[in-house]
Amino acid sequence: MSAVLEVSGLSVRFRTDDGVVPAVNDVSFTMGQGETLALVGESGSGKSVTSLAIMRLTSGEVGGRVVLHDTDGATRDLLTLPESEMREIRGSRIAMIFQEPATSLNPVMTLGEQIAEPMRYHRSMGRRTALREAERLLDLVGIPDARRRLASYPHQLSGGMRQRAMIAIALACEPAVLIADEPTTALDVTVQAQILELLRELQERTGMALLFITHNLGVVAEIADTVVVMYAGRIVEKAPLRPLFERPLMPYTAGLMRSVPRLTGLRETLTAIPGNVPDPALLPDGCSFAPRCDHLEAGRCDARVPELDAASDEHLVRCVRWRELAAP
Amino acid sequence: MTLASASTDAAVVPRRGGRGLRRFARHRLALIGACTIVFLILAAGIGPYINPYDDLHIDILHRFQPPFVGPHLLGTDQLGRDMLARLEMAGRISLTVGFAAMLLSIAFGTIVGMVAGFYGGLIGSVLMRLVDAVLCFPSIFLLLTLAAFVEPTLFTITVIIAATAWMEVSRLVEAQIRALRDRDFAVAAVALGASDRMIMFRELIPNAIAAVIVAATLNVARAILLESYISFLGYGIQPPVPSWGNMLNNAQEYLVSAPWLAIIPGAAITLAVTGFNFLGDGLRDALDPRLDVR
Amino acid sequence: MSLYLLRRLGQSLILLVLVSLIGFALIHLAPGGPLAQFTLTPGMSSADLARIAHQMGLDRPLPVQYWEWFRRLLIGDWGLSYRDNQPVLAVIGSHVPATLELMISSTLIAVLIGTWVGVLGALRRYSIFDYLATIGAMIALSLPTFWFGLVVIYAFSVKLGWLPAGGMYTVGDGSLLDYAHHLIGPAMVLALVTVAIWSRYMRSSMLEVTSQDFVRTATAKGLPRRVVIIRHALRNALLPMITLMGLQLPTLLGGALVTETIFTWPGMGRLFLDSIGYRDYPVVMGLLMFTALLVLIGNLTADMLYALYDPRIRLD
């Protein structure tokens, strides 16, 4: 599998009156063709900012490298491109869908126009051709009666249909990478399953890489090939799906899994992770998770920020005590 | 500003920087406004005692003196009267009328708004629709019509200005009272057996005060402006009683030969109105940010 | 949409009735009441007055009088002018075009400038431009319109000689260019207040819209910034401004009165002032009702346009 997106040492900092806030720190991962990478974390972990930084949609200062290996063979470092070139890539080579389909669509433009837009600007399509394509895309994403739907407005559709329309917009120019920022969080569970199914199908069909951002481990289990867990702006664990779920090495990841309610099996009490996600402006010295960690060892955990260790070829973890904690 | 980041960045980083600057600027503007008003009040109140010239003293020999050249600081008018002295005396009238009209309109508007907001239902709807109907008439048209009906004394002018300025106040108060009426503390008062009047005055009004104060300040500005309009057109304060508005009565005639006759009184009006507007805007920001539409 | 429009129409009708009631009350408040023109005529005995009063139907109960008056209002019989005995509606009608031309041209200018200033202020929030624009707007709203008019005349007419000092045409020249030349001054002065209000509301509307998710989506699509601002943000930000236009009508009409006076522009405003001077009550009342009706219709139209323009209302 050839690499499509290589993110190395990505960092995002915001300048505020209270100083510099490091929202994202030293994030690196690689995505291959057809791969689904899930970016997991609670709110405030920096996962959304990471995705926005890749698209260069954030007003913070972005450092590091984001290399896109496009389907046509071209290789570009997105962070060094001039804005005009980046604009050409946005929406056509890398596309993004967002969490709230209700508010993410322009209320006064028809569906057809909104789907046609990226095609008209990126591929210089004429209006009629673009609308025909739009109809095909609506069909592709499973919206019935596509031709008539072209003329409808967002408020006339249900949440699930709107999200499908968003996906159609994203797919319009056949992107190499699709970033989905919590696309199912605002939807009903049944619709959620449909959307996930749709994304899987489309991915198989087009071979695009999917960067899926979520805080829901259930969804991760459904859709991910690789999982990256983020906390307070840093990657704290990274592994392929099964190894992560079978043997989470970072206490935070383990804690996350324990706090997922189960409908079957033994009725255990929900164990939430005590405390709150730290304010990115006031990160503690040493491991950011230490203050909430059951296995905190003063002197070791709170001294310096742990490095990202390689527990195995593909399993990375940022914890000084992982070996001891993992020992059976 | 990145158009895309507006919705997401705010969630990540509390943007206090920009808002602080704006708050400070508004604060400054309100301060400037307040100082301006104080200055004008002092000038109008004490000025005549300091000024060697009397506003009524006619001196044909020295008429049409331009400002800043001779002994008359702001020049003289077509009858040789000292402009500064006239400005000060006119200021007394205009400011007083503005203030008094405001008090009247606030009082009336608050009562109407309160009754409508508190009782709601049919009474509320009828009252508010009436307010809407009155608002259909442009203020100046209404004002002039009323001015043509009455004998133009200080009192009547004040009353008719108030008659065209109370509507916005009642709308504001009605909205506030309607919102506050259903809040816990008001419901509690009802449960405790308080009378309607007690609830209105002891519970609801104090909470609506912030909005009323802002409305009052802006109302003075408007009243001063309206008085100047009708006095300029000849239907307001009648000479020989001076007002900033009627000082401009003949100004258009002398625009070519003595432009300062027009410019100076108008500048005074602008200064006063701007002062109250700045102050009102700043108060609105300070007392309740939620009231700020901008 | 039809439900919405029906409701609005109903509200407007209620307002129409209330407005007419107020008008009727004002007529009877006038000194001398409806008999005003006669009470000033010397040599009128009280018997004569009583006879005229009976002829005019003034001894009938008030509600009946009101209904008569209202009926005649609806069919266009607004009485005769005291000055020249012409039908009031005709007199008003001959002055309406001038005022409308003034109002429309000044609004066009004001909307163009105001939109530009407001949008720029929103995109460059807290910048020097924004700060100056906000203060400028506040000062503009504090200026007495007639004073500003005098200043403009002094600067552009007396001193610079670029613009005529008033009137609609130069004697002897009735061309379109001459008319336009005379229109500039009053249009600009009248536009001032509208620019100030429009730019401030435009700014806050833009700020609200640009912080919404779909603008982020539009940018994420890689669309050029200009397209995002105009096609996505502005299109939505302009929606509430339609309603604002309607609400601004009374202010605009009042401003027109003052502007017409300063620039001796022969419109409704000047007519009103002249009629007040002559105590020509039929025309005065007629104009009062006319302007109120204009406001009523204007607001209704604005709401209808809004319903048409916003698909969320149009298609539900």
The contacts of residue C30 (CB under 8 Å, 6+ apart) are: B148, B149, C36, C281
Determine the Cα–Cα distance for residues B14 and A44; give it in Å rounded to an integer.
13
- ∠ CA C233-C235-C241, nearest 5°, is 105
- Within 8 A of B8 by CB-CB distance, chain A residues are 48-49, 52, 57-58
Whole-structure pTM over 0.90, yes or no?
no
Q: Is A59 a domain residue?
A: yes
- Select from A121, A307, A196 the least CA-distant residue to A322: A307
Domain-ending residue, one of A179, A198, A224: A224
Cβ distance A98 to C213 under 8 Å?
yes
What's the mean pLDDT in B275-282? 90
Sign (positive or negative) of CA dihedral A117, A119, A122, A123: negative
Query: Is pLDDT above 50 for B292?
Result: no
Kindly state the DSSP code that residue C156 receives in the 8-state scheme.
I
Domain total in chain A:
2
Q: Please indicate whether, in this complex, the C-beta atoms of A57 and C227 are within 8 angstroms of each other.
A: no
Q: Name chain A's partners: 3 or more CB pairs within 8 A.
A: B, C
DSSP assignments along C26-64, one per residue:
HHHHSTTGGGHHHHTSTT--HHHHHHHHHHTTTTS-HHH
Domain boundaries, position A216: 3-224
Cβ proximity of A122 and C222 under 8 Å: yes
Query: Which of B3, B6, B248 is facing C147, going by the closest CB pair?
Result: B248
Q: Are residues A177 and A283 in the same domain?
A: no
- What pLDDT, on the 0 to 100 scale, is given for residue A106? 95
| CB within 8 Å of chain C, chain B residues 1-20 | 1-8, 10, 18
pLDDT of residue B291: 46
Based on the fold, state whether residues A101 and A138 are members of the same structural domain.
Answer: yes
Q: How far apart are CA C272 and CA C92, in angstroms?
A: 9
The lowest-confidence range among A278-287, B86-95, B270-279 is A278-287
Tell which of A198, A224, A250 closes a domain. A224
Facing residue for B5 by CB, picked from A21, A57, A280:
A57
> Is A229 part of any domain?
no
Which residue in B283, B111, B265, B16 sits closest to A15, CA to CA?
B16
Which stretch of B19-33, B83-97, C52-66, C234-248 has the lowest confidence by average pLDDT? B19-33
User: Could you give the percent of chain B with pLDDT greater than 70?
Assistant: 86
pLDDT at B176 over 50: yes
What's the rounded Cα separation, in Å, for the pair A169 and A149? 14
- Residue A277 to chain C, least CA–CA distance (Å): 25
Q: Identify the bridge partners of residue A29 per DSSP, sorted by sequence position.
A: A7
Would you say residue A156 lies in a domain? Answer: yes
- Answer yes or no: is pLDDT of B193 > 80: no
- In a domain, residue A51? The reply is yes
Could you tell me the pLDDT band of residue B80, with boundaries at 50, 70 and 90?
confident
User: Among candidates A183, A137, A181, which has minimal Cα distance to A160?
Assistant: A183
What lies within 8 Å, CB to CB, of B206 at 6+ separation is none
Q: Which of A98, A107, A118 sits opposite C222 (nearest CB)?
A: A118
Q: Which residues pair with A231 in a beta bridge?
A: A234
Give the closest residue to C212 by CA, choosing from B5, A153, B14.
B5
DSSP state of A46: S
Q: Is B2 in CB contact (< 8 Å) with chain A? A: yes
The CA distance from A262 to A81, in Å, is: 46
Q: Do A34 and A172 have their domain in common?
A: yes
Is residue A139 one of the residues assigned to a domain? yes
Neighbours of B, requiring at least 3 CB pairs below 8 Å, are A, C
Phi-psi bin for C76: left (phi > 0), alpha (psi -120 to 50), beta?
A: left
Contact residues for C16 (Cβ-Cβ < 8 A; gap 6+): C293, C296
Cβ-defined contact of A280 to B1 (cutoff 8 Å)? no
Structure-token pair, residue C123 = 């995109």
C240 Cβ partners below 8 Å, 6+ apart?
Answer: C201, C205
User: Are residues A304 and A186 part of one domain?
Assistant: no
pLDDT bin (cut points 50, 70, 90) of residue A319 is confident
Task: Give pLDDT, residue C13.
Answer: 92
Residue with tokens 């802006």: B218
For residue C249, the chain B residues in CB contact (below 8 A) are 138
- Mean pLDDT in residue range A214-234: 91
Of A165, A197, A224, the residue at which a domain comes to its end is A224
Answer whether B139's CB lies under 8 Å from B80's CB: no
Q: What is residue B4's predicted lDDT score, i.e. its pLDDT? A: 59
Cβ–Cβ gap A60/B9 under 8 Å: yes
Q: How far apart are CA C290 and CA C140, in angstroms?
A: 28
Confidence of residue A29 (pLDDT cuts 50, 70, 90): very high
Domain identity same for A250 and A213? no
d(CA C79, CA C290): 13
CA angle A115, A120, A125 (to 5 degrees): 115
Whether residue A238 is found in the same domain as residue A215? no
A49 in the Ramachandran plot: left (φ > 0), alpha (ψ -120 to 50) or beta? alpha
**CB-CB contact of C72 with C279 (8 Å):** no
Residues 6+ apart with CB under 8 A from C202: C114, C115, C117, C118, C119, C122, C237, C241
Specify whether the CB–CB gap between B85 and B51 falls below 8 A: yes
The two tokens of residue B274 are 């701007």
User: Would you list which residues of chain A are within 8 Å, Cβ to Cβ, of chain B?
Assistant: 14, 16-18, 21, 23, 48-49, 52, 55, 57-60, 280
Examine the domain organization and report whether A181 and A314 are in the same domain.
no
Tokens of C215: 């603008």
When pLDDT is averaged across residues A85-108 and rounded to a whole number, the result is 92
For A242-269, b where at least 16 C-beta lie within 10 A, e where not — what string?
ebbbeebbbbbbbbbeeeeeeeeeeeee
Q: Is the domain of A245 the same as that of A322?
A: yes
What would the pLDDT profile of A233-273 be if each residue is shown by its tens digit? 999 999 999 998 888 888 888 888 887 776 666 666 667 78
pLDDT, one tens digit for every residue, chain C (316 residues): 788 889 999 999 999 999 999 988 888 877 766 666 666 666 667 777 777 777 777 777 888 888 888 888 888 888 888 888 888 899 999 999 999 999 999 999 999 999 999 999 999 888 899 989 999 999 999 999 999 998 898 888 888 888 888 888 877 777 888 888 889 999 999 999 999 999 999 999 999 999 999 999 999 999 999 999 999 999 999 999 999 999 999 999 999 999 999 899 999 999 999 998 888 888 998 999 999 999 999 999 999 999 888 998 887 6
Is pLDDT larger for residue B251 or for residue A253? Answer: A253
Are A103 and C312 a contacting pair at CB < 8 A? no
Which residue, among C49, C214, C108, has the nearest Cα to B4 in the 3D structure? C214
Assess whether pLDDT exceeds 80 at residue A310: yes
pLDDT band at B293 (very low <50, low <70, confident <90, very high): very low
What pLDDT shows up at residue B15? 46
Q: Is B75 left (phi over 0), alpha (psi -120 to 50) or beta?
A: left
Residues whose CB is less than 8 angstroms from the CB of residue C277 and which lie 6 or more positions away in sequence, other chains included: none
Sort B38 into a burial class: Cβ within 10 Å, 0-12 / 13-18 / 19+: exposed
- Provide the pLDDT confidence category of residue A18 given band limits of 50, 70 and 90: confident
Q: What is the spatial order of strands in the sheet that A61-69 belongs to?
A: A19-32, A3-16, A61-69, A75-77
Check: CB of residue B176 under 8 Å from CB of residue B109.
no
Stretch B219-238: mean pLDDT, rounded?
92
Interface probe, candidates B134, B252, B263, B292, chain C, greatest C C-beta count within 10 A: B252
Q: What per-residue string of b and e applies to C57-88 under the rule 16 or more CB within 10 Å gives b?
A: ebeeeeeebbeebeeebeeeebbbbbeeeebb
Calculated CA dihedral for residues A289, A290, A295, A301, nearest 10 degrees: 120
Max mean pLDDT range (B25-39, B222-236, C73-87):
B222-236
Closest C-alpha among B106, B20, B161, B110 to residue B280 = B106
- Domains within chain B, CATH numbers bracketed: 94-235+270-291 (1.10.3720.10)
* C34 vs A202 pLDDT, higher one: A202
Report the CATH number at residue A199: 3.40.50.300
- Cβ(C193)–Cβ(C141) under 8 Å? yes
- In C, which residues are within 8 Å of B2 by CB distance? 219
Mean pLDDT of chain A: 88
Q: State residue A30's pLDDT score.
A: 93
CB contact under 8 Å between A49 and B8, yes or no, is yes
3-state helix, strand, coil in chain A (%, to 5): 35, 25, 40
Q: Are strands A226-231 and A234-240 parallel, antiparallel or unpaired?
A: antiparallel
Q: Are residues A160 and A244 in the same domain?
A: no
Amino acid at A169: I
Residue-wise over C14-40: b if at least 16 C-beta within 10 A, else e?
ebbebbbebbbebbeebeeebbbeeee
Predicted pLDDT at C302? 93
Quote the CA–CA distance of B91 and B97 in Å, as a whole number.
10
The answer to the question of residue A241 being in a domain is yes
Q: What is the ipTM of this complex?
A: 0.89
CA C164 to CA B149: how far, in whole Å? Answer: 35
Q: A110 and A155, same structural domain?
A: yes
Partner residue facing B2 (CB), from A14, A16, A58: A58
Cβ-in-10-Å burial (0-12, 13-18, 19+) of B168 comes to middle
CB contact under 8 A, B20 and A52: no
Chains A, B: CB pairs < 8 Å? 41
Q: Do A52 and B14 touch (CB under 8 A)?
A: no
Task: Give the residue from chain B lying closest to C233, CA to CA.
Answer: B3
Same domain, A216 and A315: no
The answer to whether position A310 is within a domain reads yes
Q: Ramachandran region of residue A271, left (φ > 0), alpha (ψ -120 to 50) or beta? A: beta
Residue B45 clears pLDDT 80, i.e. is over it: yes
Task: Read off the pLDDT of residues B139-161 as tens digits, 9 standing for 90 and up.
Answer: 999 999 999 888 889 999 999 99
Within 13 Å of residue C42, how many CA atoms lie on the same side as its CB?
A: 0
Q: Does residue A141 have a pLDDT over 80?
A: yes
Instruction: Compare CB distances from C150 to B221, B255, B274 and report the shortest one's residue.
Output: B255
Which of A221-230, A271-280, A292-301 tops mean pLDDT? A221-230
- Please check whether residues A186 and A137 belong to one and the same domain: yes
DSSP letters, chain B, are --TTHHHHHHHHS--HHHHHHHHHHHHHHHHHHHHHHHHHHHHHHHHHHH-SS-TT---GGGTTPPTTTSSSTT-B-TT--BHHHHHHHHHHHHHHHHHHHHHHHHHHHHHHHHHHHHH-HHHHHHHHHHHHHHHTS-HHHHHHHHHHHS---HHHHHHHHHHTTHHHHHHHHHHHHHHHHTSHHHHHHHHTT--HHHIIIIIIHHHHHHHHHHHHHHHHHHHHHHHHHHHHTTSSSPTTS--TTGGGTTTTTTTTT-THHHHHHHHHHHHHHHHHHHHHHHHHHHH-GGG---
